Structure 1
Amino acid sequence: MRSTYRVQLRPGFGFAEAAAIVDYLAELGVGALYTSPILTPTPGSSHGYDVVDPSRANPELGGETGRRALVDRLRAAGLDMVVDIVPNHMSVEVPSANAWWWDVLAHGPGSRYARYFDIESFPVLLPVLGSDEDIDKVTVDGDVLRYYDHAFPLAPGTSDAPDALAQQHYRLIDWRRAGAELNYRRFFDVTTLAGVRVEDEEVFDATHGEVLRWVGEGDVQGLRVDHPDGLADPGGYARRLAERARCWIVVEKILEPGEELPRSWPVAGTTGYDALREVCGVFVDQGAEEAFTALADSLGVPTDFDAVRAECRRLITTTSLATEVRRIASHVSDVDPAAAREAVAELMVAFPVYRSYLPEGAEYLAAAIGRVRRERPDLGQALDAVDAQVRAGGELATRLQQTSGMVVAKGTEDTTFYRYTRFAALNEVGGDPSHFGVGVAEFHAAQAEREATHPLAMTALSTHDTKRSEDVRARMAVLAELPDEFADAVRRWTERRGLPEPCLNLLAWQTLLGAWPINPDRLAAYLDKAAKEAKVRTSWTEHDEEFEETVRAWPRAVLGDPGLLAEVEAFAARIAPHGWSNSLGQKLLQLAGPGVPDVYQGTELWDLSLVDPDNRRPVDFADRADLLSKLASGWPPPIDETGAVKLHVVRTVLRLRRERPALFTGYRPVYADGQAARHVVAFERTGLIAVATRLPVALREWGDTVLPLPDGEWVDQLTDRPTDGGVAAMLADYPVALLVRA
């Protein structure tokens, strides 16, 4: 696998539309088309992660005929295909669309599919009612129960029974009760996605048969595994999948800084959030941390990351994931149930990584237990019982490991990252906002480690799950070079038009500059989601309508204030060129560095998208194809608003990866000498050197800065100019260079 290009398939952009851009991708130099899930999802799904039928290709994308036509087009162009798969869960939002779930509801534990789903007990609780009193609105209609647009099967022979509801293998309950009472495993706190037991070989075969057929017939050359941390035995799953598929496999595994993928997993690596943290972080000025902390403190934004994270994780254990904590605690024997629940919850709070994979990762469990012992000695007896039973293996150990990742993800990514808004460029999946940027030496060490251990792991800068695109982060990184000016502006703007919740207020000003220009509707939608994820003044389940209206009105108020708008425009105009420099540097380091680089749809030009669904907007491929044709004619693109220069960098590196793959092996840091040496980050592969500018605001001139080059004649592939290592001449046109020995 050389490189991938991720597309988000959906009704309206299906197999035929993907086939129509294959020639463009081939011209760009892409190695493989990498798609969102393509098995049949809930009708109308816009993302495909809500599969209801794993036995056939999504008919709304073009079905099997469309899939095969796409494969034929890819083969003709010499491109591979990588498919995203979802082993952890299936959608049960529309029961009639999922034949397996429908059968379970109709026949209960007697259904042949009851073992397919991770159901704790019957009757299954279905949280669909507006309130428990709404049970009076449920009616019998032939052989189904109806509640507004919802339909559920009746157990055979119960349609005429006076107590039909009581005779079903499920109970309809108030949706608010799900967090504390649900009795089936789900995807995080999404009740419409029910956990599947792929550790059972029959279930594995039923859910993977069609995808494995595609692989076996040569239609698919790679698999991306969604959310392996939700599985009972991720390592066992990886080994079974690798044995059956025998293709390139990467897993969506979030690694905390310093954490390694379990060595026993026979996969190429992760989907690249670890690389994202390293590559983006090296463009952040670490010296700005004190100034950003002072700004946050002055605005009332919390700056103790560990304290905020613990508070947010604890909130999750007592609200949206309380039922999972209860379920684990129910397996702890000989301990007061309340103490068992609290001990389990505190372990979730203290976990240093997403989850362990016992016996691998036992040190992480030990660290969490040790921390709880120190901080909560009153839980000693309950903690001893949990520790002993986890080490013995079995149900409790499995549930604890499955749930820790859920608590970490919901508590950190989806709550803390919206409260701890000191410097939002660092608040990314797989990131550590308390670690202010990445030093050059740390960056090089991480790349060398990847080349040594997982040279075919995926690397990414933007994905469908990132909180903001790579170019937004690149521009926000510029703020770290202007901390005092940014702080003065934010204090001034806040006094004039500040939001009444400090965390959201600081996030809003950073977002406005990072994504500028942005229309008020997009910004309002983002801030509404951010406010609800933060769960400070409002949330998805407990709404503060007055506050939400204030948030929705804020973008128009700011953009409608001529004096404030002029200041924002001027600040954005000042940082934009430096943001472009950072963007090009990030992209070059990712594409030329160790691993298999992924380009997320549309990001070959400037892309200032925010969190989903904003980052799933349609892409103008016709515009990109036109610019690509100009580049093919030899046009040297300027650095301007079009983003053509980024396309030039992407095209140059990807085509070189395709035509001369031997260049992209090995790894050695290269350090510049001279007055501006700290502004260079560079590395050598095998006959190739990538050079990028960092901290561009403080760069006055290159002067005598030189990059020591190995013997030979080196030519920059972006300008076709030879270089002797003098950085001023090398980076005269662009802030990046890709040198190849002639």
Structure 2
Amino acid sequence: MTTPTSTYRLQLRPEFTFDDARDVVGYLTDLGVGAVYVSPVLDATPGSTHGYDVTDPRIARPALGGEEGRLALADALRAAGLGFVVDIVPNHMSIEVPSANPFWWDVLSKGRASQFAHWFDIDWSRDRVLVPVLGSADDLDALTVEGDQLAYYDQRFPITGDASGTPQEVHDRQSYELVDWRRGSTELNYRRFFDITTLAAVRVELQDVFEAVHAEVLRWVADGDVSGLRVDHPDGLADPTGYMQRLRDAAPQAWIVVEKILHPGEQLPISWPVDGTTGYDALGEIFGVLVDPAGEGALTSLAADLGQDTDYAAVEQTARRLVTDDILVAEVHRIAALVKDVDTAAARAAVAETMIAFDVYRSYLPDEAGHWHSSIATARERRPDLSAALDSLDRQVTDDPQGELATRIQQTSGMVVAKGTEDTTFYRYTRFAALNEVGGSPDRFGIGVDELHRLAAAREAGSPGAMTTLTTHDTKRSEDVRARLAVLAEVADEFAVHVRDWSPRAGLGEPSLELLAWQTLVGAAPISDERLVDYLLKAARESKIRTTWTDADEELEQRIRDWPAAVRDAVGDEVDAFVDGITPHGWTNALSQKLLQLTAPGVPDVYQGTELWDFSLVDPDNRRPVDYQQRRRMLARIGDGEVPAVDESGAAKLLLVHRALTRRRDRPELFRGYRALHAEGPAAEHAVAYARGADDGLVVVATRLPVGLGRAGGWRDTTIELGPGEWTDLLTGDVLEGAPARLASLLDRYPVALLVRS
């Protein structure tokens, strides 16, 4: 097995195909990348922009160039000495366009008699598969018969048997039932991905299903075309441990990382034979050390003054309850039906309360039962009236931890946590939005330097092959937006004064959204009206406070559309001046967190385009095209010796990424081991430093809390001990002796240094 020195994430889509990816292989090689990591490449829903909606796992997606394009890309990567990492989606398949998924089409055609009926997690007690696609219950009148298919506007469904009679009579003889889309949340009889009825869960816990849906990708691994696998959403699997062991047995030589979101302090199950997570835990740690805890009070007061509930636990509990009671009702009902000796209402309440109480995404029974017992205890405390029902639920689950009840509640708890926390609470509790990130906890206001060192050393000791990341296709905002927002924690009082002044003149009228809007405006500037409006509309709908995706508040949504112009007219110059004041400090934070990510233990991933400043927001904003011609030109100048200034071009970040990745690739022995270094002097708390390599031959120095550093008079006489010998800063080319180095000199050009012993 070859662990890559780094990865570079490419979002493949019909507009950026295998051939387009092959065209940038030379650039990525020059950048210093160790492996190219691509979004799912199996056949997907027609027009899909992300590929997670797989329809046929047996073929490379034709819209990306098919097998010919895949092989050409694999050959180019192999020739360049780069690895090839592919994202796989074992939990679900898309059924949005039934005819695009031959397995689902067969199930709709033949019902439980289909050879693929067992592929999908369907409750056949209803006999017919519920398909919630109609605009209303009366819309069956809109059905027509077209050959051997039923047509509902532009959607098509198979007809089995006699096609005579009215379209509704034909429909009533089928193995599926088309119903009002609103019934999906309450009556759906197949398991889905979160609340998305067009993504049906796949039972990969069954050996024949596992083999069928993995055969093609595993062939690529066996042929040497693919060197690594990224596993999407393992928490939705019936048996994650068994799945990981089966995958490892089938691909013993592959580097395998899993998109497992760990709560602070949580660890991957030791029974999973994988290299680690995809790095959200590292993201929270690296960003956390840049956050000034002194800003918490002022930002909390501001949120409260605007009218926001600042009790995070209460906001989160309310949001999760919304998910169990309104969004995942069908899943709760299906689980509750398995609870014995308890009346229906009490069973449903006990199941919901237990999932609401989880402090992590899911438990892993029987190996790790602590989180299960903790959630049951919390549920009992919150709902003593459900004591008997909770006792019965707990007894059944612990007596049969691999039974259907235990399996389904574990699969579903992650959905409740993700929908309730990431997709709802993070848009409601907006006190300091930079903390509202996948795998993070908005009530944990940063971490200290010693804690960062402890966690980094633990990663080196336990999972040195784990991925680390700062930006992904799922992050709520890019790394550079968060870096600028981190400055707000240092100028919290000033920011609060501005917002209290700006809001009465150009507010939105909904406290959570309004505070998020001001932070987004200053964090992502310069941002077009269109991008800002699209983001705020999504945020407002995800929060589900005043408007939703299915029940729009037209007054609020129009106010959102008008907001950018209203801001410009009322306070535009003031906002611009504030942004100008914090931007240089944001650059410092951005360079610091990037250097820490690229040099700390783990395998760093660079999300497409983020080698320059990138101020993207949540998807689809972060899937915009990348200008690789611009990056090639800038990298060529760096290759010719340019040492760029830290400015709006982002060239300094490109230099840092290039030098760190190249050194990792060319001298991997320098990135083993980990030893914390501590600065000495009046500004020591503003430095993060560590040594790596067997003889501490590489030293990393980064700046934190730059506003406070400037206010205190800079580095002054602060020093750091480098050890004997001559040292070269790979960023500037400066050479210095190993006596205690003065940070005022070492960091006079860049706020970071990457030093190697000559």
Q: TM-score interval w.r.t. the shorter chain?
A: over 0.9
SS at match of 2:55: strand
How far the C-alpha of 1:642 sits from its partner, in A, is 0.5
Q: 619-628 vs 387-396, which deviates more?
A: 387-396
How far the C-alpha of 1:442 sits from its partner, in A, is 1.1
State the match for 2:11 in structure 1: 8
Q: Say whether the 8 Å CA contact 1:286–1:439 is kept in structure 2.
A: no
1:86-114 CA distance string (max 9 Å, x none): 00000000001110000000000000000
1:556-585 CA distance string (max 9 Å, x none): 2212x1x51100100000000000000000
How far the C-alpha of 1:438 sits from its partner, in A, is 1.3
SS at match of 1:648: helix
Task: Name the CA distance, whole Å, in 2 between partners of 1:523 and 1:123.
Answer: 44
Task: Name the CA distance, whole Å, in 1 between partners of 2:81 and 2:636.
Answer: 20
Among all aligned residue pairs of Structure 1 and Structure 2, give the percentage whose two residues are the same amino acid. 62
State the match for 1:123 in structure 2: 128
Which of 403, 412, 426 matches 2:435? 426
How far the C-alpha of 1:140 sits from its partner, in A, is 2.3
Whichever residue aligns with residue 96 of structure 1, its letter is: S
SS at match of 2:706: coil
1:663-691 CA distance string (max 9 Å, x none): 00011111100011011011111111111
Does 2:701 align with 1:694? no
Give 1:329-408 correspondences, 5 Å limit: 329-391=336-398, 392-393=400-401, 394-408=403-417
Task: Name the CA distance, whole Å, in 2 between partners of 1:157 and 1:662.
Answer: 70
Which of 715, 718, 725 matches 1:712? 725
State the match for 1:188 in structure 2: 194
How far the C-alpha of 1:154 sits from its partner, in A, is 1.3
Change (3 A) 1:539 1:219: same
Task: Name the CA distance, whole Å, in 2 between partners of 1:395 and 1:556.
Answer: 54
Task: Name the CA distance, whole Å, in 1 between partners of 2:358 and 2:724.
Answer: 50
Task: Name the CA distance, whole Å, in 1 between partners of 2:369 and 2:79.
Answer: 48
SS at match of 2:719: coil
State the match for 1:675 in structure 2: 682
State the match for 1:479 in structure 2: 488
Which of 613, 616, 620 matches 2:627? 620
1:709-730 CA distance string (max 9 Å, x none): 2222222111121234211110
Whichever residue aligns with residue 150 of structure 1, its letter is: Q
How far the C-alpha of 1:470 sits from its partner, in A, is 0.1
Q: 433-442 vs 18-27, which deviates more?
A: 433-442
State the match for 1:273 in structure 2: 280
Task: Name the CA distance, whole Å, in 2 between partners of 1:142 and 1:625.
Answer: 54
- The number of residue pairs the alignment matches comes to 740
Q: Once superposed, which parts of structure 1, at least 4 consecutive aligned residues long, lie more than 3 Å away?
A: 157-162
Q: Considering only aligned residues, what root-mean-square deviation do their CA atoms show, in Å?
A: 1.0
State the match for 2:756 in structure 1: 740
1:631-651 CA distance string (max 9 Å, x none): 001111111110000000000
How far the C-alpha of 1:160 sits from its partner, in A, is 5.0
Q: Say whether the 8 Å CA contact 1:106–1:156 is kept in structure 2.
A: no
SS at match of 1:173: strand
State the match for 1:543 in structure 2: 552
Q: Say whether the 8 Å CA contact 2:162–2:170 is kept in structure 1.
A: no
SS at match of 1:140: strand
Whichever residue aligns with residue 735 of structure 1, its letter is: P
SS at match of 2:482: helix
Task: Name the CA distance, whole Å, in 2 between partners of 1:551 and 1:198.
Answer: 43
Give 1:591-670 correspondences, 5 Å limit: 591-670=598-677
SS at match of 2:496: helix
Whichever residue aligns with residue 447 of structure 1, its letter is: A
State the match for 2:317 in structure 1: 310
Whichever residue aligns with residue 306 of structure 1, its letter is: A
Does 2:561 align with 1:556? no
Q: 137-146 vs 565-574, which deviates more?
A: 137-146
| TM-score, scaled to structure 1 | 0.99
Q: Say whether the 8 Å CA contact 1:140–1:159 is kept in structure 2.
A: no
How far the C-alpha of 1:4 sits from its partner, in A, is 0.2
Task: Name the CA distance, whole Å, in 1 between partners of 2:327 and 2:368.
Answer: 26
Whichever residue aligns with residue 417 of structure 1, its letter is: F
How far the C-alpha of 1:158 sits from its partner, in A, is 4.9
Q: Say whether the 8 Å CA contact 1:143–1:159 is kept in structure 2.
A: no
Which of 518, 533, 542 matches 2:527? 518
Task: Name the CA distance, whole Å, in 2 between partners of 1:698 and 1:283.
Answer: 12
Q: 710-719 vs 450-459, which deviates more?
A: 710-719
Does 2:52 align with 1:49? yes
How far the C-alpha of 1:540 sits from its partner, in A, is 1.1
Which of 582, 585, 592 matches 2:589? 582
State the match for 1:90 in structure 2: 93
1:126-150 CA distance string (max 9 Å, x none): 1100011111111222211111111
Give 1:166-177 correspondences, 5 Å limit: 166-177=172-183
State the match for 2:61 in structure 1: 58
Q: 518-527 vs 715-724, which deviates more?
A: 715-724
State the match for 2:211 in structure 1: 205
Does 2:745 align with 1:729? yes
State the match for 1:532 in structure 2: 541
State the match for 1:506 in structure 2: 515
Task: Name the CA distance, whole Å, in 1 between partners of 2:726 and 2:190.
Answer: 64
Does 2:477 align with 1:468? yes
Q: 583-592 vs 436-445, which deviates more?
A: 436-445
| TM-score, scaled to structure 2 | 0.97
How far the C-alpha of 1:539 sits from its partner, in A, is 0.7
Q: Say whether the 8 Å CA contact 1:142–1:159 is kept in structure 2.
A: no
1:270-312 CA distance string (max 9 Å, x none): 0000000000111010111111111111111111110000000
Q: 175-184 vs 455-464, which deviates more?
A: 175-184
Q: 249-258 vs 711-720, which deviates more?
A: 711-720
1:372-420 CA distance string (max 9 Å, x none): 1112110011111110111123100000000000000000000000000
Task: Name the CA distance, whole Å, in 2 between partners of 1:442 and 1:134.
Answer: 59
Task: Name the CA distance, whole Å, in 1 between partners of 2:307 and 2:193.
Answer: 34
State the match for 2:145 in structure 1: 140
SS at match of 1:666: coil
Q: Say whether the 8 Å CA contact 2:339–2:392 is kept in structure 1.
A: yes
Task: Name the CA distance, whole Å, in 2 between partners of 1:429 and 1:661.
Answer: 29
Task: Name the CA distance, whole Å, in 1 between partners of 2:147 and 2:69.
Answer: 37
Q: Say whether the 8 Å CA contact 1:717–1:739 is kept in structure 2.
A: yes
SS at match of 2:724: coil
Task: Name the CA distance, whole Å, in 2 between partners of 1:178 and 1:611.
Answer: 26
How far the C-alpha of 1:360 sits from its partner, in A, is 2.6
State the match for 1:444 in structure 2: 453
Does 2:579 align with 1:572? yes
State the match for 2:501 in structure 1: 492
Does 2:282 align with 1:282? no
Task: Name the CA distance, whole Å, in 2 between partners of 1:150 and 1:651.
Answer: 48
Does 2:246 align with 1:240? yes
Task: Name the CA distance, whole Å, in 2 between partners of 1:37 and 1:124.
Answer: 28
Which of 95, 100, 103 matches 2:103? 100
Does 2:340 align with 1:321? no
How far the C-alpha of 1:552 sits from its partner, in A, is 1.6
- Structure 1 alignment gaps of length 5 or more: none
SS at match of 1:163: helix
1:353-375 CA distance string (max 9 Å, x none): 00011013311010010111112
1:587-643 CA distance string (max 9 Å, x none): 000000000000000000000000000000000000000000000011111111100
SS at match of 2:490: coil
Q: Say whether the 8 Å CA contact 2:540–2:548 is kept in structure 1.
A: yes
